[in-house]
Amino acid sequence: MPVNVPTPENITLFQFNKQKNVDKVYSIDICQNKRSQWVVSGFYGRRGYRQKTFEVETTSSYLRAKAAYDEKIQEKLKKGYTTEPPTEDPLPLTH
């Protein structure tokens, strides 16, 4: 009988609104580190510019890591992020 082995996951979300000068990317993943812990981490920022990294959760439980991963994705989708990348070039920074 096959055993269900958790696998790493990744998703990249985008928020783009040319009129409001919004051009964001948010990427999050689950992976297992060398100590067999599950890590939920990723990067975010303005598309086309240096990204900031973050870590949400480090745990020995895949289910706990998956719950944190799913919660962050739902949070971003509620804020208007989508899985579809913008078709336009990155917007320039305005000050």
Q: What is the pTM of this model?
A: 0.86
Q: Which residues face 42 on adjacent strands?
A: 28, 54
CA 4 to CA 23: how far, in whole Å? 38
For the stretch 24-42, pLDDT in tens is 999 999 999 999 999 999 9
Fill in the amino acid letter for 39: V
Q: Which of 69, 93, 95, 78 lies closest to 15 in space, CA to CA?
A: 78
> pLDDT tens-digit profile of 48-62?
999 999 999 999 999
